[in-house]
Amino acid sequence: MTASPYLPRPDRAAAALCTLLGSPEDLRQPGVREAAERARDLLRSGADAGELADCYAALDTALRRSGDARGLAGGSRSVTAPGVAPHIKVAVCPGSPLCARVERARDLLPAPHCAVHGTRMRKSRLGSAQ
């Protein structure tokens, strides 16, 4: 089995590494602990991006060879690190002019009702301006 052709941005790979290092079950697989510790040591020492990318690729390969199809940052590993989320879903005003109301939007529930415009709010991703 070979490494994934896709490796995440360095900050996401570091978050996935952090999560992996906190998972004793994943580190028990042959070759994974050594590759993870090497990546951690390179990251701590301030290694250059190319060397880190090679190390992340080796760690990805070790994970896949041990039977973890997610590799380093596939599946849910990269999003379970504290404070890391791909996006936050919110419900925003559906009308024009827009008001500043923002509510958390749950995936399986409909957006809340907007009493001003008489329709459901629109689901969106939380942006930096909100």
The pLDDT mean for the chain works out to: 77
Q: What is d(CA 91, CA 107) in angstroms, rounded to the nearest whole number? A: 11
Collapsed DSSP state (helix, strand, coil) of residue 92:
strand
Q: What is d(CA 97, CA 130) in angstroms, rounded to the nearest whole number? A: 16
Residue 73 in any domain: the answer is yes
Q: Which residue has the higher pLDDT, 37 or 93?
A: 37
pLDDT (0 to 100) of residue 73: 74
In a shared domain, residues 37 and 73:
yes
- Residues 5-51 pLDDT 10s: 556 666 678 778 887 887 888 888 888 999 999 988 988 888 888 89
Helix 32-45 with 10-21: angle, nearest 10 deg:
130
- pTM of the entire structure? 0.54
In a shared domain, residues 34 and 63:
yes
Residue 69 is part of which domain span? 10-79
Q: With pLDDT > 90 as the criterion, what percentage of the chain qualifies?
A: 7
How many other CB atoms sit within 10 Å of the CB of residue 38? 13
Residue 84 in any domain: the answer is no
DSSP 51: H
Residue 42 in any domain: the answer is yes
Q: Which residue has the higher pLDDT, 49 or 98?
A: 49
Question: Based on the structure, what is the number of domains in the chain?
Answer: 2
Residue 74 in any domain: the answer is yes
